[in-house]
């Protein structure tokens, strides 16, 4: 990526500080210079804050995203063919993160059943949201690191790969994300949208479905903010020639009945076996339908492929291709403690953030990138909102290898659930809207 003009960083900062619009040349120069270390951290921090306060219009965000993509390599799957020589359309999914969100695990093999290629480049968890790679690493032998050649081969032969992203995809974003994290500018929608979309577009997929979470367990707490983020990202995808659609989905309650690593893998396998919690099945099938439609594959029936074992067959091949043993026993936490219902009634509320923090404190997540996670740690829920509960019945089981962590987890769960008279029934709405 080459900057055609040179600017003074202070002038770029002042333009955005005063509510002005950055030119494409200014944006390209800024990203190039910052990636090379020619703009000081404090100067980029000031520019981030100016963007946070004054925003960017669609043209600015699109150019900012394109400049971050151009800072590294862009994958190309246009030559991908299956063993029979037929072209394979690529389609991908990105979730903005939540508690119990294991959807990628059953989704990737399910979509691959119908001839699409799913290059799902994923990450590890930080804080209360779990990481897809952390979950899969609970499977004995499974490897997150896959070479470019092995990825292409696996996509051709299996149809799906879930692996770590290479370090040369949008390297500008890696620097910017770390800076935003320590300067209070993470919540800027232009910076969030360009961060997510620069990586997803650089991954080279032709179609993309975004799962934008809304609620207390999500990054976006309000529907209005989530809708703005979804609309911004859909526009960025279309500007880059990627067929993009977004779903707004609820994250006020955890997805499924587990929050952890190995226990979420087991729940995903249950879904692939034709069972599993209704909300996980519903979202998996809906996202599969959207991904297949976006890829130009019409008339598919993902729900049937879960029930008849086709998705499970692809799952097993995908896990084996990355060194894992899909038949191996998953890790189990050494210690457990039960949280009981304090009264009779209907469970009308279960705070996703509280459950996520509890799982994190039990060892399922990390506070720093270098922290080690416990594969067996987490929270198993025995009831979801809408269920009738009785005093003294188990509501949750806390799992960890280190029993001294139970106290912190229980403190996080204080006030996390609401029980109302049996005449009460919560209004559950998993999929809020579709943005296209």
For residue 375, what is the domain's CATH number?
3.90.1170.30
Burial class (CB in 10 A: 0-12, 13-18, 19+), 280: buried
Tell me the pTM.
0.93
4: pLDDT confidence band, cut at 50, 70 and 90?
A: low
**pLDDT for 186:** 83
Predicted local confidence at residue 370, as pLDDT: 72
Q: Contacts by 391-395 with C-beta closer than 8 Å and gap 24+?
A: 391/340, 391/341, 391/342, 391/343, 391/344, 392/340, 392/341, 393/340, 393/341, 394/338, 394/339, 394/340, 394/341, 395/339, 395/340, 395/341, 395/347
Band of pLDDT at residue 413, cut at 50, 70 and 90: very high
Nearest to 222 by CA among 432, 436, 1: 432
Number of domains in the chain: 3
The mean per-residue pLDDT over the stretch 83-95 comes to: 95
At 321-371, the pLDDT tens digits run: 999 999 999 999 999 999 999 999 999 999 999 999 999 999 998 777 677
Residue 422 has pLDDT above 90, yes or no: no
Same domain for 119 and 54, yes or no, is no
Q: Which residues are catalytic?
A: 94, 173, 180, 195, 199
Question: If DSSP codes are grouped into helix, strand and coil, which group holds residue 240?
Answer: coil
Tokens 């039990």 belong to 362
Q: Of 288, 321, 354, which residue constitutes the final position of a domain?
A: 321
- 237 — pLDDT class (breaks 50, 70, 90): very high
In a domain, 146, yes or no: yes
Whether residues 275 and 216 fall in one domain: yes
Q: What is the DSSP string of 386-436?
A: T-EE-TTSEEEEEEES-GGGHHHHHHHTTT-EEEE-TT------SEEEEE-
Determine the pLDDT at residue 427.
74
In terms of domains, do 297 and 361 share one? no
Mean pLDDT score across all residues of the chain: 94
The verdict on residue 428 lying in a domain is no
| pLDDT recorded at residue 365 | 84
- The pLDDT score that the predictor gives to residue 128 is 63
Q: Are 168 and 238 in the same domain?
A: yes
User: How many Cβ atoms from other residues are within 10 Å of residue 329's Cβ?
Assistant: 8
Q: For residue 382, what are the domain limits?
A: 335-420
232: pLDDT strictly greater than 80: yes
Report helix, strand or coil for 91. strand
113 Cβ contact partners less than 8 Å away, ≥ 6 residues apart: 159, 302, 305, 310, 311, 314
Residue 40 belongs to domain with CATH number: 1.20.970.10
Q: How many separate helices (H) and strands (E) can be counted in the chain?
A: 16, 13
Written as six digits, the tokens of 241 are 């020639």
Same domain, 138 and 100: yes
Q: Is residue 2 part of a domain?
A: no
């Amino acid at each position: 990526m080459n900057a055609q003009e040179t600017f003074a960083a202070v002038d770029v900062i002042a333009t955005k500080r005063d509510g002005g619009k950055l030119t494409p040349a200014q944006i390209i120069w800024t990203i190039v210079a910052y990636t090379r270390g020619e703009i000081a951290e404090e100067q980029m921090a000031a520019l981030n804050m100016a963007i946070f306060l004054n925003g960017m219009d669609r043209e600015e965000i699109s150019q900012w995203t394109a400049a971050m993509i151009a800072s590294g390599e862009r994958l190309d799957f246009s030559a991908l063919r299956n063993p029979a020589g037929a072209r394979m359309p690529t389609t991908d999914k990105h979730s903005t993160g939540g508690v119990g969100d294991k959807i990628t695990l059953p989704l990737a093999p399910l979509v691959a059943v119908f001839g699409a290629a799913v290059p799902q480049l994923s990450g590890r968890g930080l804080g209360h949201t779990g990481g897809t790679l952390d979950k899969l690493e609970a499977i004995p032998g499974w490897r997150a690191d896959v070479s470019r050649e092995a990825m292409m081969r696996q996509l051709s032969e299996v149809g799906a790969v879930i692996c770590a992203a290479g370090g040369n995809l949008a390297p500008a974003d890696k620097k910017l994300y770390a800076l935003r994290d320590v300067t209070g500018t993470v919540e800027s929608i232009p910076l969030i949208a360009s961060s997510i979309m620069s990586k997803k577009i650089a991954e080279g997929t032709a179609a993309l479905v975004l799962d934008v979470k809304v609620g207390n367990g999500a990054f976006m707490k309000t529907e209005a903010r989530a809708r703005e983020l979804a609309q911004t990202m859909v526009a960025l995808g279309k500007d880059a020639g990627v067929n993009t659609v977004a779903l707004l989905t609820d994250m006020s309650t955890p997805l499924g009945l587990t929050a952890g690593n190995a226990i979420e893998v087991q729940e995903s396998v249950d879904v692939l076996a034709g069972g599993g919690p209704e909300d996980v099945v519903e979202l998996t099938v809906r996202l599969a339908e959207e991904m297949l439609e976006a890829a130009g594959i019409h008339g598919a029936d993902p729900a049937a492929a879960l029930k008849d074992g086709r998705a499970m067959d692809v799952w097993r091949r995908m896990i084996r291709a990355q060194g894992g043993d899909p038949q191996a026993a998953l890790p189990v936490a050494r210690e457990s403690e039960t949280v009981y219902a304090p009264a009779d009634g209907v469970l009308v509320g279960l705070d996703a953030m509280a459950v996520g923090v509890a799982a994190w404190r039990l060892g399922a997540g990390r506070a720093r990138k270098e922290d080690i996670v416990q594969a067996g740690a987490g929270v198993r829920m025995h009831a979801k909102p809408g269920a009738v509960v009785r005093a003294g019945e188990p509501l949750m089981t806390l799992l960890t290898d280190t029993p001294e962590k139970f106290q912190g987890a229980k403190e996080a769960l204080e006030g996390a659930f609401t029980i109302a008279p049996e005449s009460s029934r919560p209004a559950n709405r998993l999929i809020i809207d579709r943005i296209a």
